[in-house]
Amino acid sequence: MTPVQPVRGTQSLIGEDADRLATVVDAFDRVRRLYGFKRVEVPTIEHTQVFARTIGETTDVVSKEMYTFEDRGGEPITLRPEFTAGICRAYLSEGWKQFAPVRVATHGSAFRYERPQKGRFREFHQLDAEIIGAGEPQADVEILAFADQLLKELGIEGAILQLNTLGDPESRNAWRDALYEHFKAHARALGEDSQARLERNPLRILDSKAHQDWPVVDAAPTIDEFLTAEASDFFAKVTEGLDAAGVAWERAPRLVRGLDYYRHTAFEFVTDRLGAQGTVLAGGRYDGLIETLGGPHTPAVGWAAGIERLAMMIDAPAPDRVDVAVVAENAAREPDAFAFATQLRAAHIAAEIFVTGSPRKRYDRAMKTRPAAIVSLDVRDGAETRGFKLLDSDNAQAAQAQTIFDAQ
C-alpha cells in the first residue's frame, strides 16, 4: 500500500530543520520582551469578512489564495492568511482597546494557496509585531528597531531596510491621481496585469515585476512631489529616530502599499541571499485599517516576517545535547535508571534513559548522542555496579549530576 503523502505545500520537520524554526522563534520571543511587546494569541480561523475587508476584495490573496469554506452552520470561514487582521479584530471585539496603546507580538501558522517555491509554502509560519493606538512617528521607529535587532540577533547580515512614506490621506490621494494620469497616458506600453490595475489601484503598478512596465514606472511621479508639510515632517521624524537608534536605512521611493488604509511609513528588509524573492520582513503604518472593521479611527503600525525564510538564512543551530545519559546495561537495573533520571530531571538536569534494545548495545547508543556525562548501571557476577563518566567538564549540569550521583 502506498503511504499517504503530505498535502502539497506543507512540510514536516525533524532535527536541524525543526531546530532552525525554533531558533528563530526563540530569538523573536527574546527580543520582543526587550521591547515590551506582549505575547498574544488569535484564532487560526476567522469570519471571511475579517480578511476580505482588510486585505481587499480585489487582491490576489482574497480572490485566489485564501483557504475559505463554509462551516456546518453555513458561515463563511477562512484560515488566516496573515495575523494583522485577526489582531485588529480582537482589539475591537475582545476589549483590548482598554490597554491602548498596545504593543503585541505573536507567531504561528498561516495559510495561502499559492505555488510552493523556495521558502514559500501553503502552510507557513509567521512572526508578527504590532503597535495599535499610537499615532506618533516614534512608534514607527520603535517597531523598526525591534525588527532590526531581531535580524541582528539571528546573525542575518546584509538585510537592508528600504523605507518610504505614503504620506497622509491628502498626500496619498494627490499622488494616486497623478499616477493614474501618468499610467493612463502610457497604458499601451503597460502589460496586461498593470492595465487591469490602472482603474482599480494605480499604486500597485509601481510594484510590477513585468520588465516592459519598468520604463513607465521609472518615469512616474514620486510621493515627494505631493507631500503635505505634516506628512513630510512625520517622515523626517521617523528617519531622524532611526538614525538616532543606529538603524541603517535607504530610501525606496517606489515602495508602496496598495490599500487605502496604509498611511505614512512603508518598509521592507530585503536581501540578495534568497534569489529573486528577497524580502524577509515587511510592514507599514495602517492608520485606516481598524475603520474597515467597523471601529473608530485608530493609528497602528506593524510588520510580519516568514519564519521559514529567516530560518534558511541563519547558521545551523547546535544540535540538542543531553546533559546525562543514564544506561541500564542489564534489565534488572532499569527501575534504577528511571529513578536516577527522575531525580536528575527534578534538579533541572536534562537526562535521557537508555533501557530499550540490546542491553549490550545500550552504552554504545548512548555514547553516540554525545552526552556531557554518562551513567552506567549493570549487574556483574551477581553484584550491582554503577559508574559515572564526566565527558564535558565545562557542563555545569553534568558536574551537578556527578555530585548527586556521588551522594547516593
Which residues line the annotated binding site? 82-84, 112, 126, 130, 257, 261-262
Quick one: angle between helices 229-245 and 137-153, nearest 10? 30
Sheet holding 160-165, edge to edge: 38-39, 102-111, 123-132, 300-306, 279-285, 263-270, 160-165, 250-251
Q: Is the peptide bond before 101 cis (omega within 30 degrees of 0)?
A: yes
Cα distances from 304 to residues 202, 216, 301, 408, in angstroms, run: 24, 30, 11, 53
Torsion (CA) 272, 277, 279, 283 in degrees, nearest 10 = 170
Helix (H, G, I), strand (E, B) or coil at 104: strand
On whether the CB atoms of residues 226 and 211 are closer than 8 A, the answer is no
Give kind and range of the element (H or E) at residue 137: helix 137-153
Helix (H, G, I), strand (E, B) or coil at 153: helix
On whether the CB atoms of residues 307 and 128 are closer than 8 A, the answer is no
**Beta carbons within 8 Å of 166's beta carbon, 6+ residues apart:** 172, 223, 256, 257, 262, 263, 264, 265, 266, 284, 285
Considering Cα of 182, then 184, then 185, then 187, what sign does the dihedral take? positive
Alpha-carbon gap, residue 366 to 327, rounded angstroms: 7
Binding residues for L-histidine: 82-84, 112, 126, 130, 257, 261-262
On whether the CB atoms of residues 287 and 261 are closer than 8 A, the answer is yes
Cα distances from 361 to residues 4, 56, 239, 375, in angstroms, run: 34, 61, 63, 14
Torsion (CA) 120, 121, 124, 129 in degrees, nearest 10 = 30
Residue tagged 559508574 (cell numbers): 387
